[in-house]
Chain A
Amino acid sequence: MTFLIQQTMLYAIPLMVVALAGVFAERSGIINLALEGIMIFGAFIGVLFVNLVQQAGVFDAAYAQDNWIALQGFELLAMAVSALMGGVFSLLLSFASVNLKADQTIGGTALNLMAPALVLFFIRIIASQNTLQMATGNAASWFMIQKSDFGYGRNEEMGFLGSTFLDRTYLATYVCILIFVLLAILLYKTRFGLRLRSCGENPQAADSLGINVYKMRYIGTTISGALAGMGGFVYALTTANCTANGDVAGFGFLALAVMIFGNWKPLNIAGASLLFGLFKCIAASYSSLDINGDGVFLLNELGISSHFYRMLPYLITLAVLAFTSKRSRAPKAEGIPYDKGQR
């Protein structure tokens, strides 16, 4: 059970944050297809930052002394840097779609095509290979929270809650959840959020009430870029051993699907990504999955073909979509460049 929860979180959290990134852009009226590209860029920036800081030796002393709090600070710093650069990268999209009034789908696709090429180009220059890695050590030993950090010995038990939510986890996961909650509140419970959403529904009406639609769309897309960049680094950190290779395994596109699946609403998105993550996790590990801790690998014993388990996440998504898509409604003005003259 502990294993299932932890692995599901590894899948679901980056998905959730990046899907929320999509919401912020689309609620402000910009279709952000570039999530995948921004994730790739953010992952690269984060890993590069970790690599450079390690080379500079800033946290060597903390690592040697097992000062895990300092190392968690290092992790947060890397997240912040990748978020920042993700936001900057997304300015390309906002500039094209707000100022130049270009087709947003094409703009996003352009970024998606550009990001892996650009990232690989830099990685080849920096590392003369196709993967950028940490300068020393591995992600688990540097950034993972372990029970030994809380003074537990190798054979001591932490209890269910401790071993599930503290031992072998990444702080990044919880920071993502926190940011997700805060931004969801920002979007739905504040004046700013209402204004942002109005720009995605009826920008003319918003403008007539004195809201600067261009500014709002810039802000929405930049928040979107920052979240996607951060999500990219979290993906690289927690599942790719803190390496960047110009690929995030289609998580950006999955996040777009999750966003639509979740009906552009934060709570639904959280549910959708957890559901999807859970079944992705089951698909990869069903053969050694011990759900209730009795030593029996139930799913394996059932004798169902492994292909079925691997199709499961997509089958479930299809099934849920079939029931919910009727109520699904995109922001009305998304994808339409705002033209002041048009009423």
Chain B
Amino acid sequence: MKKLVALLLAMIMALSLAACNSNDASQSADPSADASEGTQSGEPANSGSAGEITDPDSIDDDMRSEDGTYQVAFVTDVGDLKDKSFNQGTYDGVKLYAANNGLSYKYYRPANNSEATDEDRYNAMRTAVEGGAEVVVCAGYLQEAALRRAAMEFPDVPFIFIDGNPLSDEAGNPLTNVAAISFQEEQAGYLAGYAAVMDGFTSLGFSGGGGGNNDACNRFGYGYLQGINAAAAELDTTVDVNFSWLYGADFQASTDLQTMISGWYASGTEVVFACGGAMFNSISNAAATNSKYVIGVDVDQSGEGDFVITSAMKSLADAVQWALGHVYDETFTQIGGQATKLGAAEDAVGLPTSDEAWRFETYTVEQYEQLYQQLVDGTVVVDANFANQANTQWTNLNLNMVE
């Protein structure tokens, strides 16, 4: 008996070892045939002019450079790299720029996942710089303290700070090697809320991440409410909105979140704005179970299923490529040390309008583009100061704060 068990255990060991070996092999085989030169394996060689890569999913997430250094580094926000949302969208920009310009790239994930400390994030940035990074892209305002420290320590390395504010050192001098890029999320939220109400939904929900302390999510939520209110006023109706920051503090999926959202759907809510990374998994599970709808966030999530009626996008990938372009054509001084705010005027926020992603039945793309134009020329102004949300008297919506 003892021998049998020992044999069995040995077999498990051997099997698990074999499992990692085979995986390792397949991984290291990939990049050698892949994008390290900025060309794809399927394309003819020296394809510099054969057109650039536009599909980020066709570029490997883990590339191996020959000398072990990586020129473009990306430090992730909390949550997974492949969160189908913020991290993934940002990294898509990194991959696209690097692959199309023959640069090496790598992502760094701060240790300890959602409990990452400033120390963990700083270590990730330092590892990136020591790994040969010529530019470091940092995603998420949570990285502010770590980034300040890293930027002061490595003044020659440009940092691109997505969703952040410009930083200054202890003496109050702006750090010119940090380019802060943020988005007018309130406009994206406004467009989504407006479209949903115009399409005939009368009971909506919002479930946001960061527990109400994430500026980007707060702006999404506040803009969403303004859009709903504006559309409801136009249609002369009153709309119910459930609004919650519960169970989203770490942007993760959970049974509790799924139950709460299922409860909303069961009691009449028709569409919920899932504003935060992997929370989408729980919310979409609830939506699919109840045959209801979800609004995605950050990137076009229509591919996740028919229940994603639209997505409040910010063009992370484009913004990252734009900023990286400034680094590599030596014009980084134009954006370094400053805040770049991207919104409708820069075509950096919006809803996906392709045929397969546009799932509204009565609200049309033309109507959407009209509204978009009004955002661009300033006829419609969306308040970005989410501190006002608590004191706003909504005319056409019943706001139910779930807490």
Interface residues of B in 1-42 (CB under 8 A from A): 1-2, 5-6, 8-9, 12, 19-20, 23-24, 27
Contact A138-B285, Cβ < 8 Å, known A122-B19, A127-B82 = yes
Cα A57 to Cα B267 with chains together (Å) = 37
Contact A288-B267, Cβ < 8 Å, known A129-B80, A131-B80, A239-B255 = yes
Q: Map CB proximity to A onto B255-297 as digits: 1 under 8 Å, 0 otherwise.
A: 1111110111011010000000010011011001111000000
Q: Map CB proximity to A onto B194-216 as digits: 1 under 8 Å, 0 otherwise.
A: 00000000000000000000000
> Are A241 and B282 in contact (CB-based, < 8 A)?
yes
Asked if B130 is at the interface (CB within 8 A of a chain A CB), the reply is no
Asked if A290 is at the interface (CB within 8 A of a chain B CB), the reply is yes
Asked if B242 is at the interface (CB within 8 A of a chain A CB), the reply is yes
> Are B289 and A140 in contact (CB-based, < 8 A)?
yes
Asked if B380 is at the interface (CB within 8 A of a chain A CB), the reply is no
Interface residues of A in 294-343 (CB under 8 A from B): 297, 306
> Are B305 and A138 in contact (CB-based, < 8 A)?
yes
Q: Which residues of B contact A55 (CB under 8 A)?
A: none
Cα A91 to Cα B247 with chains together (Å) = 36
Q: Map CB proximity to B onto A130-152 as digits: 1 under 8 Å, 0 otherwise.
A: 11010001111100100000000
Asked if B403 is at the interface (CB within 8 A of a chain A CB), the reply is yes
Asked if A161 is at the interface (CB within 8 A of a chain B CB), the reply is no
Closest B residue to A85 by beta carbon equals B12
Q: Which residues of B contact A154 (CB under 8 A)?
A: 291
> Are A249 and B80 in contact (CB-based, < 8 A)?
no
In the complex, which of the residues B12, B255, B266 contacts A240, with contact meaning CB atoms closer than 8 Å? B255
Closest A residue to B290 by beta carbon equals A168
Q: Which residues of A contact B145 (CB under 8 A)?
A: none
Asked if B62 is at the interface (CB within 8 A of a chain A CB), the reply is yes
> Are A241 and B263 in contact (CB-based, < 8 A)?
no
Q: Which residues of A contact B257 (CB under 8 A)?
A: 284
Asked if A128 is at the interface (CB within 8 A of a chain B CB), the reply is yes
Q: Map CB proximity to A onto B227-264 as digits: 1 under 8 Å, 0 otherwise.
A: 00000000000000010000100000111111110111
Cα A94 to Cα B9 with chains together (Å) = 11
B23, B256, B284 pick with most chain A CB within 10 angstroms: B256
> Are A11 and B255 in contact (CB-based, < 8 A)?
yes
> Are B81 and A91 in contact (CB-based, < 8 A)?
no
Asked if B118 is at the interface (CB within 8 A of a chain A CB), the reply is no
Asked if A10 is at the interface (CB within 8 A of a chain B CB), the reply is yes
In the complex, which of the residues B61, B291, B304 contacts A138, with contact meaning CB atoms closer than 8 Å? B304
Asked if B381 is at the interface (CB within 8 A of a chain A CB), the reply is no
Chain A interface size, as a band, is: 35 or more
A243, A287, A290 pick with most chain B CB within 10 angstroms: A287
> Are B81 and A129 in contact (CB-based, < 8 A)?
yes
Closest B residue to A212 by beta carbon equals B1
Q: Map CB proximity to B onto A167-211 as digits: 1 under 8 Å, 0 otherwise.
A: 010000000000000000000000000000000000000000000
Contact A241-B259, Cβ < 8 Å, known A99-B2, A125-B24 = no
Cα A297 to Cα B242 with chains together (Å) = 13
In the complex, which of the residues A3, A10, A138 contacts B288, with contact meaning CB atoms closer than 8 Å? A138
> Are A91 and B253 in contact (CB-based, < 8 A)?
no
Q: Which residues of B contact A109 (CB under 8 A)?
A: none
Cα A324 to Cα B282 with chains together (Å) = 36
> Are A288 and B82 in contact (CB-based, < 8 A)?
no
> Are A7 and B264 in contact (CB-based, < 8 A)?
no
Q: Which residues of B contact A290 (CB under 8 A)?
A: 266-267
Q: How far is the CB of B210 from chain A (nearest CB, A)?
A: 19
> Are B253 and A243 in contact (CB-based, < 8 A)?
yes
Interface residues of B in 367-403 (CB under 8 A from A): 400, 402-403
Contact A122-B20, Cβ < 8 Å, known A3-B262, A288-B267 = yes
In the complex, which of the residues B247, B255, B281 contacts A10, with contact meaning CB atoms closer than 8 Å? B255
Q: Which residues of A contact B242 (CB under 8 A)?
A: 287-288
Asked if B113 is at the interface (CB within 8 A of a chain A CB), the reply is yes
> Are B262 and A7 in contact (CB-based, < 8 A)?
yes
Contact A3-B281, Cβ < 8 Å, known A92-B9, A141-B305, A243-B253 = no
Closest 4 A/B residue pairs (Cβ) = A285-B263, A140-B288, A284-B259, A3-B266
Besides A3-B262, A138-B285, 5 other A-B contacts (C-beta < 8 A): A128-B62, A130-B80, A214-B1, A249-B255, A287-B402
* 28 sampled A-B residue pairs with Cβ under 8 A: A2-B266, A10-B255, A91-B9, A94-B5, A125-B27, A126-B23, A128-B62, A129-B81, A138-B305, A139-B285, A140-B289, A141-B288, A239-B285, A240-B253, A241-B253, A241-B281, A241-B282, A241-B285, A243-B253, A249-B255, A284-B256, A284-B257, A284-B263, A285-B260, A287-B263, A287-B400, A288-B267, A306-B403
